[in-house]
Amino acid sequence: MTNLVTNHVPNLTEATMADTLAVTAPNSGIAPSCWHDVPVHMPGSAADSSAPLPPQFSRRHLLRGVAAAMLIGTAGVSLVGCSSEEPEPEIDPLVAQLALAKRDAAAATAAAADAPELAAALTIIANQRTEHAEALEVEISRLAPDPTTTSEQATEASATDKPVVATVDSVRLLLEESASSAAELTSELSGYRAGLMASISACCHVQREVVLP
């Protein structure tokens, strides 16, 4: 039985299939071709692995992208806001000296009322320290971009001073402090300002040692 089936089954080789397609092609309107003439890409082959895969997006990826964009936008707005803030104006070093001069003048005037025997000397000290304050105001205003701001700084500097008891001894201590402060600032300045502070320091020292011994 097996031999009979085998004998009646034709041997379909590649050549036989090609001949069959070549014969049937003209009648079917299809150009004769063989199955192995067209390349076939099998999954996992070299040709298939080289082809780029289409990107895949999920809802989670989309939400992450939106959150990152919002964070970047917020950081940019913060940076712009920080950069738009104007820096605080620099305080002139002479502002503190101006406050000391006004303080000494007021203390000397008040002490003169309680010490009639030294009223003349204290009045001289008050007048000279007032002149120092006026000279300092002129120099500060000369270089100040905004005189209003400078005036406010001088007022704030005077307000931070501790209240002083108006006695002769307190005036001596105040003059000694003013002389030392002006001398220290002289080494940090140059030109006219350095000369002005040196002159004020020397005057305060004379007031302390000579005018009000």
Tens-digit pLDDT profile for residues 168-190: 999 999 999 999 999 999 999 99
Angle at 92 between CA 81 and CA 137, to 5 degrees: 130
pLDDT of residue 67: 62
pLDDT of residue 152: 60
Could you tell me the pTM of the whole model? Answer: 0.57
pLDDT of residue 166: 82
> How far is the C-alpha of 130 from the C-alpha of 203, rounded, in Å?
12
pLDDT of residue 182: 97
Nearest to 145 by CA among 86, 84, 81, 99: 86
Token digits for 23? Answer: 């014969």
Nearest to 133 by CA among 98, 172, 183: 98
Contacts of residue 195, Cβ cutoff 8 Å, sequence gap at least 6: none
Query: So where are the chain's domains?
Result: 96-211
Residue by residue, pLDDT tens for the chain (213 residues) are 444 444 444 554 455 554 544 444 445 455 554 444 445 555 555 545 555 555 555 656 556 665 666 666 555 545 444 555 666 668 899 999 999 999 999 999 999 999 999 999 999 999 999 999 999 999 999 887 665 655 565 556 555 556 667 899 999 999 999 999 999 999 999 999 999 999 999 999 999 999 998
